[in-house]
Amino acid sequence: MADVFKDGLLHGQHALITGGGSGINRRIAERFAAQGAAVSIVGRSLERAEGAATAIRAVGGQAQGFAADVRDFDALASAFSQAHAAFGPVDICIAGAAGNFVAEAANMSSNGFRTVVDIDLVGTWNTFRAVLALLREGRSNLLAVSAVQSVMPMATQAHVCAAKAGIDMLVRTLSIEWAQRGVRCNAIAPGPVADTEGMRRLAPEGDVSWARVLAGIPMARAADLDEIADLALFLCSGAARYIHGTVIAIDGGQTNLGSLPFGNALLESLRPYPS
């Protein structure tokens, strides 16, 4: 864990995180709890969400898991109400639930495309709309987890590119409408992140896939989970109090080189690889 932040940075705050049972969002939940926040973790699987919360409590943090699918507004609103009853008004809400798979557009079903858009884009809208009435009055942060696909067209990722681009514009629009409510809205756009389920799906050939992906990143490595959590923590802290309506890429410079290396790697993963 990086030590660039003072201890107790989020003391007394309530952070609500969707998709917090695993991967990037779980590490964000762990980091926020370590900095003093009470953390509500919402996911489709109560077992996974509560498992993440149990691990946080085991090291002295405050956390509780709740079950809801971000595609179901009513279920999400109910889970948020339970979280509000447990920990009070929400200071920070992170919309992190996401879905992905590798498929060429010509071979993708309408249902497959819609599923990712519903989880990522509609799920982000549902999250922010459902939490609005529960936010700390006059002072709160909304943070969406987007991806570099929002600005970087990529082969096999038509569904994700569309959904993430929508998230970016949603955050920018809400930043205009909700600023006078004291709500600050931003997004982070990670590139490849090591040790995540998402990248295991996008790099099915292991080291071979990773070599192709990293060839398109100037820093020649993926991010680690702590680096993503550090950016989320910064944006939800007082140090970022005038950063609003912004999408920040955290990609080792990948967007400067473009999507071709990553997209080619994904295309090749769909085809037999010569032995």
Is 177 part of a structural domain of the chain?
yes
Query: For residue range 234-258, what is the model confidence (pLDDT) as tens digits?
Result: 999 999 999 999 999 999 999 988 8
pTM (two decimals): 0.92
Is 272 part of a structural domain of the chain?
no
- Catalytic residue numbers read 146, 164
Is 9 part of a structural domain of the chain?
no
Is 274 part of a structural domain of the chain?
no
Is 258 part of a structural domain of the chain?
no
Position 273 scores a pLDDT of 46
Q: Which domain holds residue 112?
A: 14-198+224-252
Tally of domains in the chain? 1
The owner of tokens 């955290």 is: 250
Is 208 part of a structural domain of the chain?
no
Query: With 90 as the cut, is the pLDDT of residue 119 above it?
Result: yes
Lowest mean pLDDT among 3-7, 159-163, 261-265: 261-265
Position 103 scores a pLDDT of 93
Query: With 80 as the cut, is the pLDDT of residue 264 above it?
Result: no
When pLDDT is averaged across residues 263-272 and rounded to a whole number, the result is 73
Is 267 part of a structural domain of the chain?
no
What ranges in 59-179 are assigned the alpha helix state H? Answer: 73-87, 110-117, 123-131, 158-177
CATH of the domain at 228: 3.40.50.720
Query: Average per-residue pLDDT in the chain?
Result: 92
Position 204 scores a pLDDT of 61
Cross-sheet strand order for the sheet of 140-145: 62-67, 38-43, 14-18, 92-95, 140-145, 183-190, 246-250
Distances (CA, A) of 40 to 15, 43, 46, 141, 209: 6, 10, 12, 15, 35
Q: Which residues contact 17 (CB under 8 A, 6 or more apart)?
A: 25, 28, 29, 32, 39, 40, 41, 42, 93, 94, 96
Is 210 part of a structural domain of the chain?
no
